Structure 1
């Protein structure tokens, strides 16, 4: 008589701890791993013969931006078909909740206009209920966004918060943590957090630390001011006594590539002082963010309509033109690609470098960028080719580096199938396994799996995930280590990987023979009380 719902037989098990692979069977009962060892096939309702394949914990994307994407694409095709079973959203300071006031109004208008999405939640609990009502194919955990808190409490103004405004941010963070958020994120490069100082962030982070959360940070600079930015955020984390995750560690711009050693030294010195600090990184040398990131901070103050109106103002426009011309060398615009726009008339620019698109529009690059941002109401995505391969490899090999896609889930069909998204959206985890493990031998397979599973779960305090052991949640990925590979490129990014055979989320099959089953067994992963 069958005892287990599923038995996977004869796979090479890599358990997420960094230990070597071992040949064994694994049994699942309900949503948990029930047994590992030699298991009679007669005990399983379903048996998968997996000789020659590798079985690992489901991959954890510790740095994602699927907060709104999951409501639009709940099957999370681009994620689960990579083997991802848990995404952590709310990164870079922008989270779906908690949200209120001017920020809620702005976000609700944006997503209603772009996608027809009803934004009828405010709190973390209400947002989680929305995800559960829709039904999702992967698990999802949330960080509270400092930028969202600040925008909700005080709009986009460039000043320090009043005592009342700071208390509103702290209260929002405390409530969000009580409702299951995993920590706090900030994006100090972006408005409105770029207008904040360390004292503001320390106060909010300390409240989150009281609830056993972590702090993640897109730092104030990843280029010219990289080292100063690392000093700043390490100082914040030490004063708030909170574990720190530095988001997508990089050295942006060729003149900043030599700074990597000093960046490592600062992180490792902080570790030696007792700070729990780590980082994450995607396995590519181009970044992806809104094109408006090229603008100076002063141009990003206020609400969206104020920023757009500033682009229309001749005096402000002239000042922006001068700022951009002095800040960026002539060849910078050939290293920046237009990834996605919202208006059909501008689709012809997707996939082109700014220099090429500007030529097509018969305009100078700076003028083209400002005019496109105005016409698109700031909703333009760009891909920035500013990093080097040697530094990427050095970052990936550090023992404190985890793997994160820095993307939102998408699909080959539906509302999120347009544009030229960064290939990391469809390829991050298979690229590590195929290119950097098998082809380049940069990492061994157990270490790479640990960076994708056990390490992020330990960082987040998720003790029953990220390992293959009885009692752990049955989030599993079965893949062929000899063939697993990413297929997404910058030119053709909407391509699923190969070599991912089966993916199970909470014990339910979501991917079979590389194809999505349509199942939506995902859950919200809340902070343990």
Structure 2
């Protein structure tokens, strides 16, 4: 007799076979039998009539690195059936982290969640997760942005020979301690200042450990084709498996580029490169509000970056660049504030930049700069820029999988605050 029997469910066993009606016998913490029958006996019977029974899902693209320390139960993940998450995506990982980057992150997360960063290495971080006991399996990627900032700060230049060696050493140590690969966020500082040669050097280390390279590309809008070619070139030079994160074409003027993106990717696959992609099932993205700023504004430590926005000459230059890139009249209506840190500005959560600015009698650009200053850059936003038709086309490709691009959330405690992207609970 089994301890638990799940019966009458539609079983999707993950093998690729068609679903079938059957029962699952469990003893202790082991599944001992799966078969197309409803006659298994057990001490406890769970009737799954009208439900699907499947293995736990792997969230291939997550951001729960720090949030797991706030909510080890990973509520929003397990409620969707996720039992494994790949974290450390888009260039930002909880480890390895050291130097001024560790100090800046500690200030940020202590302010938001009262967290202390009492680790520096992948091993120390992994041991912390084991001690607190998390409800999901968690695999970490090494964040290129985190490592670069730890070694050389957020400087707009190529690394010196010594700095590149130090980054490679950090990657080597992280891979040796169990990381699955390297991620980079090429639209974010400081990876936005990096070139192909730097990524090749780091991925040559990853290759030795049979790891993967995942990337939030340098552009997902006007220069998306150039961005795809850039990361494919890294894969071509290193022969590291490439995962393109949250594949998309942002802004309506770029929606017609999707078929050409497919062609570029599929030619590379035919060439023999190992390339896959992921995407969340929504047409709005979510990232920091500071992502709208030109790359040159993101150099330096947080105090420098914030003070830069106070300079009227700099603001005028930023404004001109944003208007040139986004001349569409409804631009500020497509950006909706998701979360802020201060109580002063939480009234704007769930409102567009256009509506928020109107409420306080400011121009949208000035409102945006002011709220970034007041929140010390800690503002996230939803960007409504994508096509539903393109989303369907993306999911029809066999090399594209689902990934939430979300950190774990909860409906209680600190992770219930704000208006996060619905993908956190609904992917």
Q: Does TM-score exceed 0.5, indicating one fold?
A: yes
- Say if 2:367 is the partner of 1:391: no
Query: 1:292-441, aligned counterparts within 5 Å?
Result: 292-329=290-327, 330-428=329-427
Indicate the residue corresponding to 1:207 in structure 2: 205
Cα gap change, 1:5 to 1:169, in 2 (>3 Å): farther
Residues 388-447 of structure 1: per-residue CA shift (max 9 Å, x gap): 10001100111111111111111111011111111111111xxxxxxxxxxxxxxxxxxx
Query: 1:18-57, aligned counterparts within 5 Å?
Result: 18-37=16-35, 38=37, 41-42=40-41, 44-57=42-55
Structure 2 CA distance, aligned partners of 1:175 and 1:199? 20
Q: Which runs of 5+ in 1 are unaligned?
A: 429-529
Determine helix, strand or coil for the equivalent of 1:338.
Answer: strand
In the TM superposition, residue 30 of structure 1 has moved relative to its aligned partner by 4.0
Residues 308-365 of structure 1: per-residue CA shift (max 9 Å, x gap): 1111223322322222233222310011101111111111111111110010121111
In the TM superposition, residue 206 of structure 1 has moved relative to its aligned partner by 1.3
Indicate the residue corresponding to 2:109 in structure 1: 111
Structure 2 CA distance, aligned partners of 1:79 and 1:261? 32
Contact 2:83 2:137 in 1 (8 A): yes
Q: 2:57 aligns with which of 33, 56, 59?
A: 59
Q: TM-score of the superposition, structure 2-length normalised? A: 0.97
- Count residues in correspondence: 425
Structure 2 CA distance, aligned partners of 1:412 and 1:125? 30
Indicate the residue corresponding to 2:287 in structure 1: 289
Contact 2:286 2:382 in 1 (8 A): yes
Determine helix, strand or coil for the equivalent of 2:23.
Answer: strand
Residues 84-111 of structure 1: per-residue CA shift (max 9 Å, x gap): 1111110000000011111111111111
In the TM superposition, residue 178 of structure 1 has moved relative to its aligned partner by 1.2
In the TM superposition, residue 53 of structure 1 has moved relative to its aligned partner by 2.1
Query: 1:196-275, aligned counterparts within 5 Å?
Result: 196-275=194-273
Moved more, 8-17 or 69-78: 8-17
Structure 1 CA distance, aligned partners of 2:134 and 2:7? 28
Contact 1:289 1:382 in 2 (8 A): yes
Indicate the residue corresponding to 1:134 in structure 2: 132
Indicate the residue corresponding to 1:505 in structure 2: none
Structure 1 CA distance, aligned partners of 2:200 and 2:111? 36
Contact 1:14 1:22 in 2 (8 A): yes
Q: Which runs of 5+ in 2 are unaligned?
A: none
- Say if 2:82 is the partner of 1:84: yes
Q: TM-score of the superposition, structure 1-length normalised? A: 0.79
In the TM superposition, residue 60 of structure 1 has moved relative to its aligned partner by 1.1
Q: After TM superposition, which residue ranges in structure 1, 4 or more long, deviate above 3 angstroms?
A: 29-32, 38-42
In the TM superposition, residue 39 of structure 1 has moved relative to its aligned partner by 7.7
Cα gap change, 1:289 to 1:32, in 2 (>3 Å): same
Relative contact order, higher structure (CA 8 A, sep 6+): 1
Contact 1:288 1:381 in 2 (8 A): yes
Structure 2 CA distance, aligned partners of 1:46 and 1:181? 39
Indicate the residue corresponding to 1:143 in structure 2: 141
